[in-house]
A and B are shown apart, each in its own frame.
Chain A
Amino acid sequence: MALLEIRDLDVHYGAIHALQGIALTVAAGQIVTLIGANGAGKSTTLRTISGLRRPTAGTLVFDGQSLVGKPPHEIVRLGIAHAPEGRGIFANFTVAENLEIGAYARHDKAGIAADRERVLTLFPRLRERLQQSAATLSGGEQQMLAIARAVLARPRLLLLDEPSLGLAPQVVQTIFQIIREINAAGTTILLVEQNAHMALQTAHYGYVLEVGRIVMHAPANELERSDEVRRAYLGVA
């Protein structure tokens, strides 16, 4: 069953045609990845889903409801959480406050407390730093915080934008392990990555985006074996 269904999506930045007729389906319960080079339109796709960008044409349907024209704060309440690129944590908040604002749209106190406990178990490093200013965290810890905060929104669909960006290989392994755990607990994930290798190993299904168009899509393990993807994104000659 498709949780998110995107059809013929067009997005413009002024005269620039950033997304050109994107079609993409995210099945419930899966990890779907969107890979591609810098500037291909991966982040724009996520920003359009979460309402930060208005599409010029096309449809976005989440669980039977159209997302077009809805402001971001309503889209969050429908069950979509977006951990933006560059971590995007609130540097003026403590770690604890960052987690709390992740649950801003929720009112179930007991549920929030349970989820908070759950993410702190997933990310023990954050528990040690709860009262610290988020600005003092390392890059990897900031990424953990961004993911933990998005999980606290209790989304049905989690949008992750470049979670491996600028992190040491060891930390990347940890982050992807946790992404699998979050998915195993029932959250559908749309993962945008430049690290195609990690992304395809983690995801069930993959899309390849090139300058605003989807050029390939297939189950992740098939994409990983395809010659084109290996040449262009996996650095295999």
Chain B
Amino acid sequence: MGSVFPGLRCAPPGAAIWRPLRGLGRGLGALAVCPSYVPVTKLVQTLLDGLAVGGLYALIALGYTMVYGILKFINFAHSDIFVLGAWISWVFAVRVLGVPDSAGATAPGWTGPLVFLVAMTACGTAGFLIERFAYKPLRNAPRLNVLITAIGVSLLLQNTGQLRVFFGPYPKSMPLLVPDVTLGYLAGVRVPLVDVIVLGTVVVLMLGLEGLIFRTKLGRGMRAVSFNTSLAALMGVNVSAVISFTFVLGSALAAAAGFLFVMKYPAGLKQPADTSWMMLGLKAFVAAVVGGIGNVRGAMLGGMLIGLLEFFGVAYFEPLYRDVYVFSLLILVLLFRPTGLLGRATVEKV
């Protein structure tokens, strides 16, 4: 079991105080001893979790899809930027701001937004540097060379992250930067502040990205480069700058996902080379492909779909097949709609 999600939350009606379960074993254990479900409660709970995690998949998928749209290659190091975002959040909160990471400790309200911005900035910079030094020199090289380089960058990030001077080889527990407050109950389901923050941030970031890509001049330049690089250059678009910006943007979104992930799952902060990260990154990649790789709206849709499918599968069928649902969807999409749900077949013009 590679998953780091603490399983479905059981919320029997009338349970006034219910602390979120952290840790997979406890999560699944609780599932087994759950009292009888009220169907609506179970539905709402699954929907809430599926949307939140789906939103995180979508944020990561956007980076895959934007880079593919512009450079036509899969940036395999992208999921490691997500990991970097999660770990930088921890380092900045615990080591720099001195927030205690012991259970039950709380932090002042401003730390959350600050850590969020620092993680996004740091990862944006990392994305810029990776593009500048690893991919840009290969701009005119065959695609395979860039792909192999991306795998190399991914391994480099994972393994240097394990060094003690960086994050170290052990999992850590993320301090609660968002107070563990209950906002209310929805059909008997506890709605914690953190879930609202995760979903709200995802929605705001997506709307912002949508506006940037479809309503600004820079976004028009990005779409032009994605359609045809040399044609965009003839229009006066600075192609190199657009590519750099795309990496910065994608990396910052992955960092946001990393931060939100450890906010929702403080026990999910495994060591950088842990395989649970790879599974999350892989599912986000699946989300990009399912939505139609290269298509921004497709990545958003794909992420949400994958998240919902995963949580509904776990809640209503068999929790052990969590990964099976996701990859079965990938196989189905590749068989019956290989361009993805929102992707269009490209017509080779003569």
* Chain A interface (Cβ < 8 Å from any Cβ of B): 50-52, 71-73, 76-77, 81-82, 84, 86, 88, 90-93, 97, 100-102, 104-105, 149, 153
CB nearest neighbor in A for B221: A104
- The residue in chain B whose Cβ has the minimal distance to the Cβ of A135 is B347
Of the 9-residue stretches B58-66, B198-206, B225-233, which lies at the interface with chain A?
B225-233
Is B104 an interface position by the 8 A CB rule? Answer: no
A92 touches B236 (CB 8 A): no
Q: Provided the pairs A86-B349, A88-B228 are in contact, do residues A93 and B223 lie with their beta carbons within 8 angstroms?
A: yes
- Are B236 and A77 in contact, with the CB atoms below 8 A? yes
Among B170-215, those with CB < 8 Å from A are none
A72, A77, A82, A100 pick with most chain B CB within 10 angstroms? A72
Asked, given contacts A101-B220, A101-B224, whether A82 binds B234 with beta carbons under 8 Å apart, the answer is: yes
Q: Is the CB of A76 within 8 A of B235?
A: yes
Partner of A104, one of B217, B227, B240: B217
B230 adjacent to A72 (CB under 8 Å): yes
Q: How far is the CA of A101 from the CA of B235 in the complex (A)?
A: 6
| Chain B interface residue number, banded | 20 to 34
Q: Which of A72, A81, A86, A91 meets B233, CB within 8 Å? A: A72
The answer, yes or no, to whether B238 is at the interface (CB within 8 Å) is yes
B224 near A73 (CB under 8 angstroms)?
no
B237 touches A (CB below 8 Å): yes
Distance between Cα atoms of A105 and B236 in the complex (Å)? 5
Across the interface, A88 reaches (CB within 8 A) one of B221, B226, B231, B236, namely: B231
The distance in angstroms between the C-alpha atoms of A92 and B343, with both chains bound, is 12
Chain A residue nearest to B239 in the complex (CB): A73
Of the residues A71, A90, A97, A153, contact of B231 by C-beta under 8 Å? A90
Q: How far is the CA of A71 from the CA of B349 in the complex (A)?
A: 26
The answer to whether B227 and A50 touch across the interface, beta carbons within 8 angstroms, is no
Which of A52, A81, A101, A102 is in CB contact (< 8 Å) with B230? A52
- The smallest C-beta distance from A29 to any residue of chain B, in angstroms, reads 23
State A100–B217 Cα separation when bound (angstroms). Answer: 9
- A92 to B, closest residue via Cβ: B227
Complex Cα distance A142/B349, Å?
Answer: 14
A-B contact pairs, 27 of them (CB 8 A): A52-B234, A71-B233, A71-B238, A71-B239, A72-B230, A72-B236, A73-B233, A73-B237, A73-B238, A73-B239, A77-B236, A81-B234, A82-B234, A86-B349, A90-B228, A92-B223, A92-B226, A93-B220, A93-B224, A97-B220, A101-B224, A101-B232, A101-B235, A104-B221, A104-B224, A105-B236, A153-B236
